[in-house]
Structure 1
């Protein structure tokens, strides 16, 4: 017997335990990735490779995590989020376990990049979609709280990873990090299924061909939605620059002459202000002072500006101040993106939409850090790398201006599918959700 069908999202209750699960998952996935700059420095020395080649370890991890997200959401549609997320947690921990010496750099591409990244894809997208289904009025607040995991974990992980490397070497430190990551399996156990009446309205009609079944399972009809595609292209451009500081801020600080613990402290403080930014973003949305899409655009543009300022941080206090601003602004971008995605496609399509938007964003995640590393190898410093990353974020923010009805208080519904109650392109209003409801 399945779970009882609810007329609307409970907006709390067990949803807060789901938020706790996503909080821990986000910390154990993205908190580790953000703090991986400590291991990046060790990889440079151990393998004797250029920064561009070593950057592929982090880049492949994030790219596979995003690229394989439709697989995670499709499997969750078929089998439920709980078993899929638990399986992904096992693969993530297994991929981070260090191989026997001496491993070639390509082995890390396959283990940390491919295996751990695929495990993360099975964990994150289904969990975020499950969280979105448990909340409506408090969705942005719950998402901000859940997504504060990377910021809080980054606060502790950067100095912790440096301590582990100093005490046990990069191989021993990586083994301990792998053990921590296996706790993703316990997080997956908290994802209780939830059935809503909206699911009945969106139930697909029987499909005759296997191609039609796959299209329905992966939500490919969303690719015909201009608002969705515009939003996804913006996310792709953002990812070209957004992820660069997590891979190269620590090496940049080391090149500036700061010691390893000063460099690690930069990422730690980024985590602290990242946490504040996410919570402030959730609080602002709860007050409904602005439309989510407008807030996301503003914070994205400001994040790009702070990255342009990183090369001007010639002293440690100046670099720390820029780093604190970056962490605060960048922290709000991720929860706002997911809340805006629900605004664009609706709760009933959020599972498929999350997978597809991650797929499209993966190309930016794959190219961003290696491009930054290549620019560093060519120029001899990270100055051009941070200027390029900031530019990508600004362009991504400007693309959001082209989302249909951007200047309106209305949102566009996804294209009509079998069972959808509205026609494609119809405008829907969130009654009482935005302060400008009823205005033209």
Structure 2
């Protein structure tokens, strides 16, 4: 007898884990998504330029992505737990969990604006910090899967899984070996460029709308609508991914490209309703990307290496999140125009899709090459079982 991890239950207590992750996403990522409300307040308080103020957000984003610091204790753990509890329903489970970011963002946008007006930006941050103590409750609900035992002789299904993941099991000792996989290295490049574009729009959308002369609460409503569209995108794209109509990486390429195009077109908006339309499109497509860009890591490195892959993915992705907002802020200071921030974001996202295309081709080719080896192993197992049965009969 030997021990192994139990198969993901695809339900049961896994849905409790999903709900815990739902609140975790809301209390971490949704706060960052609404940090644009603090941008002008902090800029005016200290009398600094947009590029300087952008470092506040970029530093927070970098700390979120660096495993073991700040909010990443909760955020990365929640993503990992959901992936371990589900296989068949993994896309929809992750979409539901990540939608907590959107639901909380809808509520947080006007709430944060009210807190700033009532208690100043310093008092607002203090209250938000108190709310985030509820992450302790979310963490208490996370339970790791227990190990079980199995006979030394695997079944046919177990053999098929072991044949395809044998190499990964031997090499999970150290994370960085994954960088030797060309498909994972290219996916890291996608993560860096896409992160540089991801975090620019939420930060500059409120200042952009305010620069057009909108009242102070109208930009807050735009962020709420954006978050609602984001929620719809996550759920719909998660459902589509679960149907397996196209490969996850193909779907990711399509929605990321459309997202980049929308961001390039957003600056042509010169009134509230036009901004609202483009913000809704941005939110919907952003939700589609978020719903599948983490689960796609499993397609690249297999579930056995998912934790290592996710950690390395988040670590190196922080490069884009750290440099994107300040670069956009510098362009805004140089041109005195918030539109250039959205142009930079759109270009980064479109460039990132080129890497996803290459990753998809490499992963698809690898799977085609692995199929004959798997079937050969299964045939050998069947021959062994037949020979054993005949020997038992003779005996």
TM bin, normalised by shorter chain, reads 0.7 to 0.9
Query: Does the 8 A contact of 1:411 with 1:429 survive in 2?
Result: no
Q: Flag the 1:396–1:188 CA change in 2: closer, same or farther, 3 A.
A: same
Whichever structure has more helix as a proportion of its residues is 2
2:268 corresponds to which residue? 312
- Name the Cα RMSD after superposition: 2.5
Distance 2:228 2:301 in 1: 32
1:38 corresponds to which residue? 37
Query: Does the 8 A contact of 1:303 with 1:393 survive in 2?
Result: yes
Query: Does the 8 A contact of 2:169 with 2:304 survive in 1?
Result: no
In the TM superposition, what is the alpha-carbon distance from 1:131 to its structure 2 partner?
1.1
Match for residue 75 of structure 2 among 124, 127, 131: 124
1:142 corresponds to which residue? 93
**Residue 327 of structure 2 corresponds to residue 371 of structure 1:** yes
Distance 2:263 2:373 in 1: 36
Distance 2:281 2:373 in 1: 34
1:285 corresponds to which residue? 241
Provide, for residues 45-86 of structure 1, a one-character-per-residue CA deviation record: whole Å limited to 9, x for no partner.
Answer: 1111111111111101111221x22xx4xxxxxxxxxxxxxx
Query: Does the 8 A contact of 2:231 with 2:284 survive in 1?
Result: yes
Write out aligned runs for 1:218-229 (5 A): 218-229=174-185
Match for residue 141 of structure 2 among 183, 186, 190: 190
TM-score, normalising length: structure 1 = 0.77
Equivalent residue of 2:313, what SS? helix
In the TM superposition, what is the alpha-carbon distance from 1:405 to its structure 2 partner?
2.5
TM-score, normalising length: structure 2 = 0.85
Distance 1:124 1:48 in 2: 33
Q: Flag the 1:294–1:46 CA change in 2: closer, same or farther, 3 A.
A: same
Distance 1:306 1:326 in 2: 6
The runs of 5 or more residues in structure 1 that have no matched partner are 73-117, 206-214, 414-424, 432-440
Q: Flag the 1:427–1:401 CA change in 2: closer, same or farther, 3 A.
A: farther
The runs of 5 or more residues in structure 2 that have no matched partner are 149-160, 376-395
In the TM superposition, what is the alpha-carbon distance from 1:427 to its structure 2 partner?
5.9
Distance 1:391 1:44 in 2: 26
Q: Which has the larger radius of gyration?
A: 2
Distance 2:167 2:346 in 1: 40
Distance 1:9 1:428 in 2: 26
Equivalent residue of 1:265, what SS? helix
Query: Does the 8 A contact of 2:197 with 2:344 survive in 1?
Result: yes
In the TM superposition, what is the alpha-carbon distance from 1:382 to its structure 2 partner?
1.0
1:323 corresponds to which residue? 279
2:357 corresponds to which residue? 401
